[in-house]
Structure 1
Amino acid sequence: MENLVSGMLTFYGIDVSQEVYAWIIVLVLPINSALNPILYTLSSNIREHRRSKAKEINVQREKELFSREIDRLQSRLKAIIKEKEMFSQENDNLARQVKLLKARDSESEGVNMTGDH
């Protein structure tokens, strides 16, 4: 960063003395070197925290989606069970009607047989 500033000053025609370079080398570069690991660690921690938060949000969204899907499937299952019960009742009613019709047919055949004699 320091080299960039001094380079730009030189580029625009501003003379940077040897004394300024010496101060940069003696004072600014060691401070910069000492701060770099701290800055890297902080930025790394912030990035990791953001990733963790994003992952947490994604997990929560997935849980909500799965929960909605489970609710939908449970509703559908209840509807299917209700339909099955209705069909079962209809089947029972039809079976009773068939028995009644067979009984009537048997009775009418019996009446016809006894009436013909």
Structure 2
Amino acid sequence: MSTQKLVRQVKLNNLQYNALRDPAVYRRCANEPFRIQALLAGKGQARCTLSAQSGEVIAEQSVALPGTFTHEIAFPAAGVRIVTLAIDGHGEKFAQDLRLDVLEHAWVG
């Protein structure tokens, strides 16, 4: 087995995801899509699953390695959602919670 990690980078709205970054950087208005990406390394196949806090599977995809998992999701109402990106492949398991902040409308001014 190689020492290369399965997940090279997780991106939210085309920015590297950092849980310590101000959530305002990633915010979207209602019905505006969030773009979630995972850049994957290795060989073979990886199983990528995006699930809601309730456990409901939002998206599931098999990705050929090396490759990229991409999914866009929009929410009709304002609020905070936590989704979990789980990736299993190349003999490794990875999971990351992502905070998705949805605004009722765009800021004016």
Per the TM superposition, whether the score is higher than 0.5 is no
Q: Which has the higher contact order (CA 8 A, sep 6+)?
A: 2
Q: TM-score, normalised by structure 1?
A: 0.15
Structure having the larger proportion of residues in strand: 2
Q: TM-score, normalised by structure 2?
A: 0.16
Structure having the larger proportion of residues in helix: 1
